Amino acid sequence: MQEIININKSGTILYLSMGVYNIYAIGGWHVELGKFEVSFKNMETDIKIFPEKSLLKLQDFYKNEKIKKIFSVIVNKGGEYEINFIHQNSIILKKYGFPLSYFLNKIDSKEIEILIKRN
């Protein structure tokens, strides 16, 4: 399962089966999360799941776009989940990593998308 969602689309409903999911920022390799958070609310039980920040922020490509792993989440019960984004304006995403990131502009938070990918 792979889903791409704009971080300004809180309230989107996804079906997640039981398993481990990685969450990637799409568009760049320099990411500063600030206070940015993601939560998943099970629509049946109203239980919220909060992903953990990735210690190893792996870099990769997805459909010729740069992606960087920012969170991981374990889903213990499959079902429909509502995804919510908190403090979307605090995330900083730049196309290139160090040292070029200091000279280039950040990507506007209205354009930032995330990829949710099951392991």
* 95 Cβ contact partners less than 8 Å away, ≥ 6 residues apart: 27, 28, 29, 30, 66, 104, 107
> Average of pLDDT values for 20-30?
94
Residue pair 73/113 in contact (Cβ under 8 Å)? The answer is: no
Query: Is it the case that residue 107 has pLDDT exceeding 90?
Result: no
What confidence score (pLDDT) does residue 100 get?
62
Query: Is it the case that residue 38 has pLDDT exceeding 80?
Result: yes
What confidence score (pLDDT) does residue 57 get?
83
Domain encompassing residue 59: 2-118
* 6 Cβ contact partners less than 8 Å away, ≥ 6 residues apart: 110, 111, 112, 113
DSSP 3-state of 102: helix
Least confident segment among 24-28, 41-45, 56-60, 97-101? 97-101
Query: Is it the case that residue 3 has pLDDT exceeding 80?
Result: yes
pLDDT digits (tens, 9 = 90+) for 61-102: 999 999 999 999 999 999 999 999 999 999 999 987 667 656
Considering its fold, how many domains does the chain have in total?
A: 1
Query: Which amino acid, residue 68?
Result: K
DSSP 3-state of 65: strand
β-strand partners of 75: 19
Instruction: Give the separation between CA 25 and CA 109, rounded to whole angstroms.
Output: 11
Instruction: Give percent of the chain above pLDDT 70.
Output: 93
